[in-house]
Structure 1
């Protein structure tokens, strides 16, 4: 694979003696471990610079390996960055799911999810998520890896929300005739609010973003109680 930056070749050649020792140590690690270390190193780079601004040399430097090591394990920089984005997104939603599972009921679980979706810290997540979207449209992707990855992330996210609603209906906490429709609206509103939050056009605080989602829940998931 050609280096993402032309100067990668020179960097690799200049550091061969030092890399030779490190590479010998790394041969004792399984391929999966070395791939994971490289992908882990790419996550903060994407968050800080954006997908389009990260190259093979950047990833190699962050992972503490040679450019050749990176290109040996990955067929393209797009493959690295795609896996890095998926890793971040899966961790993010796994944490949300864990919080929801520990909630006392579905109503509390949805409130926890909404609170977690919009914080000052989650602006970083939303930047990566929208970068992930645009990368799929921008890159030549004959295997549709980005598109299929995005579809899987949305499918998992929708399943999580729908399961909470259906559990609330089964427990008598909610009344909802169309859990699937509610899920679509909840996810769409979340994305729209997140994009407005990042662009601040018009300005949107985390508190106001949460309030809009609270209102959707209150208006569509009514209880039979007083």
Structure 2
């Protein structure tokens, strides 16, 4: 992952640096992030703000993190735990064009592996999806296994971007915790693809086919985010006085289990939401009756395409 341009003092100037670094006309960049060019121009001039969803799409196209767009650095002291450098897409010393091509390969591979499964996807399939040759894919990645490891890092980045973009806007700890969980629901094509990559990684780690270290680093970031939010809620007196690691382990395990059930057709996202919200209200919130109305979360997961 390559950070384009100098680190300046505002999100809009960093977005402008991303556009310049992409080599794309502003109109084409706006198209790639799914934003009307007029709205992009207004945001760059400061007459409107970038929404969380827009920042996520800019980060995706430019290959940076949302946190870099907001603060000029990948590290954050906010409500989303910072991934280790090793759990984010690998940085390489290369030009913008090479970095862009590498990202295109990872993103195409991410979708293919999520939809068809790692063992069914060939390098030739990835090359076809990228409109290039197998030799070109091997120029950037020596093996398919190396590509697979990068797809997990890409998933970690997607989750981190979603959390940084929106968690800071929510003040109440219970609402923030429910929102965090909602961000992880396997909803829509993107959400299901992300879960598919994780599920395949768990399977590969269990059989020795994937890097346990890569998986552990990525998962620890998710667990740490949940843990940190629970600690904040306990400090503010709205979460029960139970060891935070117990609560974080129970909640993340419940999310994992229901995510697998949704992905395999054994449960719906609505069922997952219902049971997880009940667990949070029953086992983590001090006063579920008064806090329930304050901590409502949207009916659809925020990363629904």
2:215 is aligned, of 132, 137, 150, to 150
Cα displacement (A) at 1:33: 3.7
Asked if 1:208 is matched to 2:271, the reply is yes
Asked if 1:126 is matched to 2:195, the reply is yes
User: In the aligned structure 2, how far is the partner of 1:195 from the partner of 1:28?
Assistant: 39
- Corresponding residue for 1:179? 244
- 1:187-202 superposed matches below 5 A: 187-200=252-265
User: In the aligned structure 1, how far is the partner of 2:158 from the partner of 2:177?
Assistant: 18
Asked if 1:37 is matched to 2:131, the reply is no
Distance 1:119 1:88, change over 3 A: closer
Preserved contact between residue 176 and residue 220 of structure 1 (Cα < 8 Å): no
Runs of 4+ deviating beyond 6 Å: none
- Corresponding residue for 1:107? 174
Larger Rg: 1
State the SS of the aligned residue for 1:174: coil
Q: Deviations over 1:14-58 (max 9, x none)?
A: xxxxxxxxxxxxx97554443223212211111221211111111
Distance 1:80 1:95, change over 3 A: same
Cα displacement (A) at 1:96: 3.2
Cα displacement (A) at 1:124: 2.9
Structure 1 residues without counterparts, runs of 5 or longer: 1-26
Structure 2 residues without counterparts, runs of 5 or longer: 1-93, 291-305
What's the TM-score, normalizing by structure 1? 0.76
What's the TM-score, normalizing by structure 2? 0.57
User: In the aligned structure 1, how far is the partner of 2:145 from the partner of 2:260?
Assistant: 24
- Corresponding residue for 2:118? 51
Matched positions, count: 194
Q: Deviations over 1:88-132 (max 9, x none)?
A: 232134313433222122111112123333353123322221012
